[in-house]
Chain A
Amino acid sequence: MRTNEDQLVELAIAGAISAPSFKRGPFLPDNDGLSVVRPGMFGYVYNVRVGDPAFGWQGDHVEPGASIDHEDGGVHHALHYLTCMGNRAVVTSGLATGAEGIVVGEHARILIDFDEEVHEQLCVGDTIQIRAKGRGLALLDHPNVELKKVSPGLLHRMGLETASDGKLQVPVAMELPVRVMASGAELNSEYVDQDITSGDRELMRESGIDRLRLGDVVVIHHADHRIGRGYRRGHVAIALCIHGDSVMTGHGPGILTLMAGTDDDIAWTIDPNANLARYLNIRETL
């Protein structure tokens, strides 16, 4: 894949491991309106890692690994707009200083994976610095495919090919139907994610969506993700599953936009191994 990566600027940006927090009254209404309290967002999640199932946890919007943020609004947005999937990160304060991690998601905060041996040293508030690189990345032979938040390192490991008809061929773990795409439609597609609405539990089972894993690369047909995330026939979005299921209606596992184009530009093949954990050598098997 020919790219313009030699022109990209690589720079440092930092945030701190967030503290889990609740609104006053910690309850969430589930699909039937019952109040539940679940962990999942913020902080450091010890036992859910990229490559694990997105469904089935007793959690809500589970964010694998460390979720980092910055209290300054400008820095917060810079973290969201400059960090790319697969970027390298390093701990710069606390007991784990020097430990290296890797960016595996962007939700309300930036999600960073660390090896298990680092777990015990990480603390809420520890600073993590990212080598942000990927903003501006383009595929020279696919000028109509827009890349979003893909680091060059990830791009070259995604199994991308140019098909005989000139389209970019992308391996994906599954196709998601556009009608289940929900919360996040109000946001621009450079910021955070859009949730699958999982309230129709039977549909999740019938369609196999409930086998989705954190880190899966997925495709949504008839979704235009160039500027926002909306319905448009003939458009194609390639996305990454970054957080776990939710009890709330209109919510569920979240997907982050990686590529946007049309039927003329992007085709896909189903590959159960199309997962970030394998692409970034975080796990050998899924």
Chain B
Amino acid sequence: MRHNADKLVHVSVMGRIASPSLPGLPAEPYRLDADGKPFLYPSHGSIVYNVTVGDSAYGWLADTIHPSVSIHSADTAANQGLNVLACVGNRAKVMTGAATGETGTVTGKSGRFSEHVIVHFTRAAREKMAIGDKVQIRAAGVGLELADHPTVKLKACSPELLAKLTDGTDDEGRLRVRVSATAPSHLLGAGSGLVSDGGSLHIQTVDREALVDAGLDRLRLGDVVAMQDYDSRYSHGYYRGAVGIGIVGQGDSPRPGYGPGLTLVMTSHDGGITPVQTPDANLASLLDLHA
């Protein structure tokens, strides 16, 4: 696999562990599920003690829960830098507080309404952390290209992840990528039309039968998922023959249009990617992450 990883610039980006946040007065904390029923669950942000990459993406009493730790910068431009430059698989390090020196791994990003970077740490490390702790990431991956696959665009994909995801080329020269499932375009919802260099594109889960039919009802956090007929070169949208590759970054949601979120790592508008169904195509095993 010929690539330009030796030319990548490694740069620091930093965020602080984000606090959960809910709307203020008139003290109406509820959101509505697809049938209009109000719900009140934990949502994005914070230190999540008991949800980890490798766990199920479904079944939690939560709304798009981020596993492990979410970080954010209060400065909008700096947060954009953090959200775009951090790549899945990059190393993170706690720089302040009782957990100083603990290391972790970037596993995903969140979209329009929180824009966090999601970082895996061991449960033991999480116990020592505090909201507001600084987490610094050694960001490397933006600019990564495959010499023999010019139409495969990599985004938020670290060289380490690239090596684990790919499995050579097929007879027609397409890049083989290990996936645990494939999402049809009609089940891709929130995030469509929005940027693909950060943020998330969500699998829609309101129609549970359609979810089962597509084989998406058993996804785990960290699973590698192919997106059929979706072009994510510049933003996300339907395009016949295009294939994207995303990582399940956050969990299911009761909200319409939402469900497990995908962090985009690869896209090819002309079908230059062949998804290869592989057992255990999940970040936990690919990057050897442990709770």
Beta-carbon contacts of A141-183 to B below 8 Å, as 1s and 0s? 0000000000000000000000000000000000000111111
Beta-carbon contacts of B145-184 to A below 8 Å, as 1s and 0s? 0000000000000000000000000000000000000001
A236 CB to nearest chain B CB (Å): 14
- How far, in angstroms, from A137 to B34 measured CA to CA in the complex? 21
Q: Is the CB of A233 within 8 A of B112?
A: no
B210's nearest neighbour on chain A, judged by CB, is A233
Quick one: which of A29, A32, A202, A228 contacts B235, CB cutoff 8 A? A29
Number of residues in B with C-beta < 8 Å to the partner? 39
A53 at the interface (CB under 8 A from B): no
Task: Give the A-B pair count, Cβ closer than 8 A.
Answer: 126
| 9-residue interface stretch from B11-19, B115-123, B237-245 | B237-245
B288 at the interface (CB under 8 A from A): no
Q: Is the CB of A248 within 8 A of B238?
A: no
Q: Is the CB of B36 within 8 A of A180?
A: no
A-chain residues with CB within 8 Å of residue B186 when the two chains form the complex? 178-179, 222, 231
Q: Which of B32, B187, B207 has the most CB of A within 10 A?
A: B207
Q: Which of B190-247 contact A (CB under 8 A)?
A: 190-194, 202, 204, 206-207, 209-210, 229, 231-240
Q: Is the CB of A251 within 8 A of B237?
A: yes
How many chain A residues sit at the interface, stated as a range, is 35 or more
Quick one: which of A185, A203, A232 contacts B190, CB cutoff 8 A? A185
- How far, in angstroms, from A90 to B275 measured CA to CA in the complex? 57
Q: Which of A182-228 contact B (CB under 8 A)?
A: 182-186, 188-189, 195, 197, 199-200, 202-203, 222, 224, 226-228
A249 at the interface (CB under 8 A from B): yes
Q: Is the CB of B187 within 8 A of A183?
A: no
Q: Is the CB of A249 within 8 A of B189?
A: no
Q: Is the CB of B235 within 8 A of A249?
A: yes
Q: Is the CB of B256 within 8 A of A183?
A: no
Q: Is the CB of B194 within 8 A of A249?
A: no
A227-B32, A233-B209 given as contacts; is B233 within 8 A of A200 (CB)? no
A31-B234, A179-B238, A199-B238 given as contacts; is B207 within 8 A of A233 (CB)? yes
15 examples of A-B residue contacts, CB within 8 angstroms: A179-B184, A179-B185, A180-B238, A182-B238, A185-B189, A186-B189, A186-B202, A186-B258, A226-B256, A231-B204, A232-B207, A249-B235, A250-B235, A251-B235, A251-B237
Measured CB to CB, the residues of A under 8 A from B are 29-33, 178-186, 188-189, 195, 197, 199-200, 202-203, 222, 224, 226-233, 248-251
